[in-house]
Amino acid sequence: MSDLGDRGSTVLEADDDHTGGHSRREFVGYLLAGPILVAAAVHGLYPDSAQALPTVELPVDDFDLTDVLTASSDPTIPLLAVEVGKDNLVTFALPRAEVGQGLTTSVAMIIADEMGLPLDQVTVTLRDAQPDLLYNQLTGGSNSIHSLYSGVRQAAATASAQLNQAAARKFGGAASDYRIEDGVVVGTNGQSATLGELTELAAVSKTTPVRIRLKSASERTLIGTPQGRVDARDSVTGAKVFAMDLDVPNALATMLCRPPTINGTAKSLNNKTQILAMPGVSDVAVIPHTDFVPGGVAVRAQTFGQCIDAIGAMNVTWAPGPVANLSEADVLKTLQDAEIPLTPALPGSTLEQVFTFNFRPGDPLETCCAVADVRADSAEVWGSMKSPIYGQQQIATNLGLPQNAVVAHVVQGGGSFGRHLFNDAPFEAAACSRAFGNKPVRLMWSRTDNFRQGRTHPLNIHRVRITYESSNVLAYDERCTGVACDFTQGLGEAITANLVSFPEANFVGFSEAVFVLTANVPYNFGAVTQLLDEQYQVQQFNTSSVRNVYSPDTCTSTELMVDQLANALKMDPYEFRKAYLRVPRLLTVLEQAAQAGDWGRAMPAGTAQGIAVHQEYKGAAACLVEIDCTPATVNRVIPNGVGGPRVTKAVYVVDVGLPINPLGLQAQMMGGMMDGIAQALTYSMHLVNGAYLEGSWDNAFYTRQWNTPPDLQIIVMPETTGIPGGAGEFGVAATMAATACAYARATGTLPTSFPINHNQPLAFTPYPFEPSTPPSPTNGLTQAF
Amino acid sequence: MPNYSFILNGKRVSVEAAPNEHVLWVLRDRLGVKGPKYGCGLDVCKACTSHLNGEAFNPCSVPISDIRSTDEITTIEGLPATVGMDLHPMQQAWIDNDVAQCGYCQPGQIMAAVALVQQVRAEGREISESDLDSLRNVCRCGTYWRIRQAIMQGEASMPEATLSKHRHPTVKLAKPKRHSTKAPH
């Protein structure tokens, strides 16, 4: 078993000449008027990349979704300032969500490093919705560090330059005689002052541009070093505050009885008097289903337990939802009928295959929740929002209030994986608060609500055809046909706002833009076409851009077919990839993974290795897994769970360009890997008559300890490009693909439907559809240990 | 409503609640103890895992009427005091291994881990891979591998329990007394 201590090999050499050529350039920063020192950057673009938006051409090696999102956020970078407090703390209000991906830690590292502060002298908070930030308050596309790194550094450098200036004024000499060491400004003359002592002196009365110099790579002490999360202690002591832990006066527990089919609507509550008479219940209201508010019958009570009891007692008349007559086979048929035809085949041999990727849940462990305090002429909401400006705007519209009458607070989230790009809970909380006669609510979805009315990674099919002649690949054609993936509520607008130069002026919407900007085939495969078609409206099925969006399925389809082709050409899968990869960074991580994972070692029957690569987010990744498909493992008995094949070892190698926090990067890869394993082997939803059967984590089989690889190694490559790429979603695709490839090799069977256990007999008894939230068990003590 | 009295994190508390109210909501909504998290209310995800007289239990699935006045409930907030430290060694192991991502499940994970260590010690052995496989707590961030590392560190640094467990009379001592999910690995 490898261990984290092994990360010596992952630690990065600071290299002066390897910083993208801009770290020693001079910049102009801004000092903002005020009583204490507040400093900001002018822009946050990378000098050598996204200054101008080039025409998009496949493959998207050089210009991709990351560039688009960074360009969208850039115009408002000057609004992001670091503030030096009289308490010695430097604070930064992050215009992104923290949902476990570690942004507050990474951004604190960037500021502390640039200013010469210990990490705990920087406080990163989450910013309330601020409409003038436009597209710069979205958390998506694993883009946050890429879009903020340059601007945040410049703001921090501006602040430290001005502190040195203030010290020179206080003690004499030139600013260049001073520097910040360990959080204190010290002079060559032996004088020193704390930041708190200097901040008022450093303040300006009108906004002032100043010339600044960024630290070079060799001057860094934090970036590239493994740092534990800044909220680690709060997480392990129970002190970390999530939305449902907030203490908002009189915000009582609120839940909804929800329809038995997806997006159904409540027509009437037939026993309102009875429900209102139940213990603790103060309010009941029918909340109509709309495009923004999922709705049902809401109940407000002293405790959530009382809400669950009330839901169980409700007699509701429901109108069916828009897909009430559809089951999985119907949807699959619609997709198959809608496939965009492949281009006519070139002469040569062909390999062709269709892969099905079933509906997968997209929701985190913390269920959807938000606090809302709506008044007649104002509203205040709290929730984990990745698109809070959109949330604030829409809540104002829904309530008939001006936008500036709504305050939207972004709270730390218990996971997201793309889910909190959608403000379902804040919208619904505001609607309930209003419906109850403007009473504050703590709205929470139940787990079953989240599975059955939550958002999924949409069902889709991929047809791949490879055309080759002897060892030359002539063409690679892929057609992805799926249920519409929802990119509304802000992310889509941020992507398309800057695509005026996009070559496909008639692209149908956000989905196609995302697909074109992320899909790629990193091999020398001749003429490549990858096309997307989507069916159904986003108001029919609830979907979202779940972690890594299209890439896990695209990558898995590609890599399985690569193995098929290697087999046809009688080549080893690793040797084939080495021979055909056209991206040098991918070749490097591939070789590293093969070496660390001992590719090609002798394996017992029923077990095998698999290897896969993926490029996205300005980075390169490779994954090697070993899988055990022996009967003893596959048939092991898991009470209320599924066994099946087990990934026994996994190696992930990632090159993110410039690693900020290798420990955090390893964490993100690890999480993505668990998602990839789940999507390949066990994790899906079954649609029957307009409803998902799954209602708990013992129905939808996300990776659990018994599926976790006991042997895990994650290697973060040293700095390559000097520009930090994305991380949060980057572990998924290559792991899912490598797991699928390993399964194919271990069993001698090409898997064509994912997860591989999806079409086996249902491994659980579904909860009834009414009541929508099952009562909690009462036999908990029998399970104590 | 009847009044219930018990020991919570070392202090006697009393609270009015209906007999069928689940302990999770009595803790969170009536007593303001927010460490135990709601993740399913179905005794599945284990995010609310706390201790009852030193044993791991899930308050989402226990009615308050099952709690006797002599019972001691420990939530994550009260864990350090059980060893007389600012942080329990298992919490320190979590920090040392940088386990938490979003952190939502981690109070429950830690409480389950401490109980697991105590259980295998009571059986006179050390934690095995299959013991780790048997933990049912869901972590949707996928921190499972670091959890395994942290539990092994925490096991090594945990003091022997000073208080012997006094079992709750409603606990049936059926063997095995918890789910076994032992994989052959």
The pLDDT mean for chain A works out to: 92
3-state helix/strand/coil string of A606-624: CEEEEEEEEEECCEEEEEE
B49: nearest CA partner in chain A: A784
Q: Which of A309, A447, A705 sits opposite B40 (nearest CB)?
A: A447
Residues of chain B with C-beta less than 8 angstroms from the C-beta of A304: 25, 28-29, 38
Q: Are residues B143 and A414, on separate chains, in Cβ contact within 8 Å?
A: no
Q: Are residues A671 and B141, on separate chains, in Cβ contact within 8 Å?
A: yes
In this structure, are residues B89 and B159 in contact, taking their beta carbons and an 8 Å threshold? yes
pLDDT for the residue numbered A499: 59
pLDDT for the residue numbered A608: 98
Torsion of CA A577, A581, A583, A584, to 10 degrees: 60
pLDDT tens-place string over residues A220-234: 999 999 999 999 999
Q: Are residues A447 and B47, on separate chains, in Cβ contact within 8 Å?
A: no
pLDDT tens-place string over residues A160-197: 999 999 999 999 999 999 999 999 999 999 999 999 99
* Residue A483 DSSP symbol: E
**Confidence class for position A516, pLDDT limits 50, 70, 90:** confident
User: Is residue A132 scored above 80 in pLDDT?
Assistant: yes
User: Is residue A46 scored above 80 in pLDDT?
Assistant: no
Q: Position of tokens 């056209």?
A: A582
Measure in Å the smallest separation between the Cα of A484 and chain B Cα atoms.
Answer: 24
Q: Average of pLDDT values for A588-605?
A: 98
**Confidence class for position A356, pLDDT limits 50, 70, 90:** very high
- CB atoms under 10 Å from CB of A47, counted, come to 12
Residues of chain B with C-beta less than 8 angstroms from the C-beta of A639: 179-181
- CB atoms under 10 Å from CB of B122, counted, come to 11
Cβ of residue B40 closer than 8 Å to a chain A Cβ: yes
Q: What is the DSSP string of A216-250?
A: PGGG-SSTTS----TTHHHHHHT----GGG---TT
CA separation (Å) from A474 to A471, A559, B168? 9, 17, 71
CA separation (Å) from A638 to A642, B135, B183? 6, 11, 8
User: Is residue B181 scored above 80 in pLDDT?
Assistant: no
Q: Which of A309, A364, A447 sits opposite B42 (nearest CB)?
A: A447
In this structure, are residues A708 and B148 in contact, taking their beta carbons and an 8 Å threshold? yes
Report the C-alpha gap between A163 and A175 in whole angstroms. Answer: 8
| A70 or A719, higher pLDDT | A719
DSSP reduced 3-state for A158: helix
Measure in Å the smallest separation between the Cα of B160 and chain A Cα atoms.
Answer: 17
In this structure, are residues A676 and A669 in contact, taking their beta carbons and an 8 Å threshold? no
CA separation (Å) from A318 to A266, A296, A522, A691, A783? 5, 9, 50, 14, 37
pLDDT for the residue numbered A13: 29
Report the C-alpha gap between A122 and A108 in whole angstroms. Answer: 6
pLDDT for the residue numbered B161: 65
CA separation (Å) from A72 to A50, A61, A133? 10, 19, 10
User: Is residue A14 scored above 80 in pLDDT?
Assistant: no
Q: Are residues A236 and B170, on separate chains, in Cβ contact within 8 Å?
A: no
Residues of chain B with C-beta less than 8 angstroms from the C-beta of A364: 102, 104, 140-141
Report the C-alpha gap between A456 and A691 in whole angstroms. Answer: 12
pLDDT for the residue numbered A576: 98
pLDDT tens-place string over residues A71-91: 888 888 888 999 999 999 999
Is beta strand A441-444 parallel, antiparallel or unpaired with respect to A607-616?
Answer: unpaired
Measure in Å the smallest separation between the Cα of B82 and chain A Cα atoms.
Answer: 13
Q: Are residues B178 and A704, on separate chains, in Cβ contact within 8 Å?
A: no
Q: Position of tokens 């609004």?
A: A79
| A419 or A28, higher pLDDT | A419
Measure in Å the smallest separation between the Cα of A393 and chain B Cα atoms.
Answer: 27
Q: CA A297, A298, A299, A305 torsion: positive or negative?
A: positive
pLDDT for the residue numbered A4: 31
User: Is residue A754 scored above 50 in pLDDT?
Assistant: yes
DSSP reduced 3-state for A157: helix
User: Is residue A57 scored above 80 in pLDDT?
Assistant: no
| Residue A379: both structure tokens together | 């509203």
| Residue A691: both structure tokens together | 């409803």
Q: Average of pLDDT values for B135-140?
A: 98
pLDDT for the residue numbered A354: 98
Q: Where are the beta strands (DSSP E) in A554-685?
A: 607-616, 619-628, 646-655
Q: Are residues B103 and A643, on separate chains, in Cβ contact within 8 Å?
A: no
pLDDT for the residue numbered A439: 98
What is the total residue count of chain A? 785
Report the C-alpha gap between A2 and A649 in whole angstroms. Answer: 10
Closest CA to A764 of A706, A704, A698, A702: A698
pLDDT for the residue numbered A5: 32
Report the C-alpha gap between A77 and A27 in whole angstroms. Answer: 14
User: Is residue B86 scored above 50 in pLDDT?
Assistant: yes
Report the C-alpha gap between A777 and A696 in whole angstroms. Answer: 13
pLDDT for the residue numbered A12: 28
pLDDT for the residue numbered A26: 77
Question: What percent of chain A clears pLDDT 70, i.e. is strictly above it?
Answer: 93
pLDDT for the residue numbered A25: 62
pLDDT tens-place string over residues B111-121: 999 999 999 99
User: Is residue A570 scored above 80 in pLDDT?
Assistant: yes
Q: Are residues B148 and A663, on separate chains, in Cβ contact within 8 Å?
A: no
Q: Average of pLDDT values for B25-41?
A: 98
- CB atoms under 10 Å from CB of A32, counted, come to 19
pLDDT tens-place string over residues A91-130: 999 999 999 999 999 999 999 999 999 999 999 999 999 9
Q: Which of A236, A706, A776 sits opposite B60 (nearest CB)?
A: A776
The pLDDT mean for chain B works out to: 90
**Confidence class for position A498, pLDDT limits 50, 70, 90:** low
The answer for B 135-164 residues in CB contact with A (under 8 A) is: 135-149
**Confidence class for position A490, pLDDT limits 50, 70, 90:** confident
Report the C-alpha gap between A179 and A541 in whole angstroms. Answer: 57
DSSP reduced 3-state for A60: coil
Q: Average of pLDDT values for A495-507?
A: 52
In this structure, are residues A726 and A140 in contact, taking their beta carbons and an 8 Å threshold? no
pLDDT tens-place string over residues A196-205: 999 999 999 9
Measure in Å the smallest separation between the Cα of A104 and chain B Cα atoms.
Answer: 11
pLDDT tens-place string over residues A206-215: 999 998 999 9
Phi/psi class of residue B10: alpha, beta or left (left: φ > 0; alpha: ψ in -120 to 50)? left
In this structure, are residues A747 and A229 in contact, taking their beta carbons and an 8 Å threshold? no
Q: Which residues contact A715 (CB under 8 A, 6 or more apart)?
A: A9, A10, A592, A593, A596, A651, A652, A653, A654
User: Is residue B183 scored above 60 in pLDDT?
Assistant: no
**Confidence class for position A343, pLDDT limits 50, 70, 90:** confident
Residues of chain A with C-beta less than 8 angstroms from the C-beta of B32: 247
In this structure, are residues A357 and A335 in contact, taking their beta carbons and an 8 Å threshold? no
